[in-house]
A and B are shown apart, each in its own frame.
Chain A
């Protein structure tokens, strides 16, 4: 089984990285939509990949690299989730909502349209049919509480399809964020000295960062697998569950090893970890995704089978 990136995929990674390195970035630490970066990706065709012959795995590469660059924009919603449920052209800035009412939606205050899970079907809802209340959050994404009425109901099965793609995108985004955060922490502990040696020379620091790297890589690879098996509910739920657990731990690890410097706005680590804080709770977080995995993998286990007898019976 060849898990290495193809030449074209490596090209995607390099191109996205280089494009985003040149895009204008805000200097404020307050999370706000980075429309310029999203526009740069769109103009270069990276947000329409699957329509232009790219695969969903390719889409996860774009999501991953954008996240690793610390970009604050709904990349996954546009490049992976929207194409999974509709061929219709949609605005650039999309909000994803797990239910029609009262949901906390990333980029909800900026979204031009919403994709909403409504049972077995998803909806496309224009801004004019949504009630949007921006929230004052100190986490790494702007968010709003959103309720929708009306909108266009998509095909049967589009609800689960949207959830699969959303979970996959979440895991890809998490992988990129975690990898960037661990890398930034590793650079810092290589330079920072106490008691006459770099912090990175202490095993307790090395082991924690190594584990963080494992979690980041795990999320990335599970996301790619879920993108490949895009009809597999269990693969998507597993990716999201692992990513959510990983994000919790990486948030703690990188801030612990970097120390007080890491929690300051000026250092820049919080641009990444603020996003981990928000993202690890999306779609109900690790426990909800774990239950989804259990139900998908061993249908009958979960709310309808709290004793897990179906699991035991295999």
Chain B
């Protein structure tokens, strides 16, 4: 069985031979042209073919069955090599694990090879204009069709990569309107199905990786149901838990940026203020502690605590990076300054997505501290 060091070496060798897609700045979230999209998708498929995208999956489904340490080590190597965001990440990180856990053998056979090969791109269709933090308020309705199967109508929002996706991972209400979490079902949706309309949303960084998705009488067959009818809440919670576990990789990326920041500050010598060096020491320590905390399954609620801590620490690191860039503009390489400024804007997303920090703090308060009713 390969060690972490062996996986790092493998990832380094691969990234040296496969530079990131041209024109996609490090950390880019979505392609901005058709040609960039094709190049980026091809690069993604090559990464999958090298076995670097589904390492933690079971071997029978194209993975290597490795643990979280190896996965994160590879993610860090790719990040340091200037890789853009991996377009297949929703498939590999959320949908694939859910289908492995809850899918039928037919669904596994149909979808997992494409996800493992990076040849199918997925989007998550959970949030709605009226159901963000309160996912149980989902109103997109799935009703039985007289000829069999389902008819789905509603609106989804904040759907990352929906504009690129082949398939959607959809949660819809199959129960009574007031059934809350008990009346939800998870479906897989071919995004080319008639009645599916995708509309882009441009956000604060200037990227348009988010979308709205409108579903107008979309027909789904019975075999589109993942798990049980009205059992979608449990499937979605498992997915959201996986989403929060992704934090572990994000912490390693943060560690890379903190290392870069340290190099800049060290190079400034005595020109840098005590405030900056103190703040740097604090974030270095906390990022290290968070990296150690991440993935510790024996710590109850580790993924929830980790997500809260990461989101707040991400802001502090990038605020400090901004402070250093502005106080010492000539000391920061342009590529780093650009990345830090883009990441600073995007820090806002991490305190909201996957469950806002406020919701997660409530979870910690209620389940961890037994506070409130």
**Interface positions of A (Cβ within 8 A of B):** 29, 102, 104, 137-139, 193-195, 202, 204-205, 248, 252, 255-256, 259-260, 262-266, 270, 273-274, 277, 281, 284-288, 290-291, 306
Contact = CB atoms under 8 A, between A and B. Distances in A.
B192 interface: no
B327 interface: yes
Given A194-B133, A194-B134, A256-B348, A287 B327 contact: yes
B201 A256 contact: no
A241 to B, nearest CB: 12
A252 B315 contact: yes
A194 B138 CA distance: 11
A149 to B, nearest CB: 19
B343 to A, nearest CB: 12
B330 interface: yes
Contact of A287 (B203, B275, B330): B275
- The range of chain B's interface size is 35 or more
A264 B202 CA distance: 6
B93 interface: no
Contacts of B351: 256
B319 A288 contact: no
B349 A281 contact: no
B282 interface: no
| Ranked 6 nearest A-B pairs via Cβ | A281-B326, A194-B134, A263-B204, A255-B348, A265-B202, A263-B203
Interface of B: 127, 130-134, 137, 157-158, 201-206, 210, 273-276, 315, 319, 322-323, 325-327, 329-330, 341-342, 344-345, 348-349, 351-353, 356-358
A260 B202 contact: no
Nearest to B129: A261
A169 B327 CA distance: 20
Nearest to B358: A204
A260 B353 contact: yes
Nearest to A286: B323
A259 B353 CA distance: 9
Contacts of B357: 256
B205 A138 contact: yes
B196 to A, nearest CB: 21
9 contacts: A102-B329, A102-B330, A104-B329, A138-B204, A248-B319, A256-B356, A260-B132, A287-B275, A287-B327
B324 to A, nearest CB: 10
Given A194-B132, A284-B326, A285-B327, A277 B345 contact: yes
A138 B273 contact: no
Nearest to B315: A252
A29 B205 CA distance: 11
Contacts of A281: 322-323, 325-326
A287 B345 contact: no
B349 A260 contact: yes
Contacts of B273: 287, 291
Nearest to B346: A263
A288 B133 CA distance: 39
Contacts of A193: 130
A270 B205 CA distance: 10
Given A195-B134, A252-B315, A138 B352 contact: no
Contacts of A266: 201-202
Contacts of B327: 284-285, 287-288
A209 to B, nearest CB: 13
A241 B288 CA distance: 31
Given A263-B203, A263-B204, A138 B341 contact: yes
Residue among B130, B276, B345 with max Cβ neighbours from chain A (10 Å) = B345
Contact of B356 (A259, A264, A290): A259
Given A193-B130, A281-B325, A284-B327, 5 more contacts: A194-B131, A256-B356, A259-B352, A264-B203, A285-B327
A267 to B, nearest CB: 10
A139 B322 CA distance: 12
A115 B157 CA distance: 47
Residue among B201, B204, B276, B323 with max Cβ neighbours from chain A (10 Å) = B204
A137 B348 CA distance: 18
Nearest to A194: B134
A290 B348 CA distance: 26
B323 A259 contact: no
Contacts of A263: 203-204, 348-349
Given A102-B330, A256-B351, A287-B275, A265 B342 contact: no
Nearest to B276: A287
A5 B74 CA distance: 61
A266 B327 CA distance: 32
B158 A194 contact: no
Nearest to B312: A252
A117 B237 CA distance: 57
A260 B326 contact: no
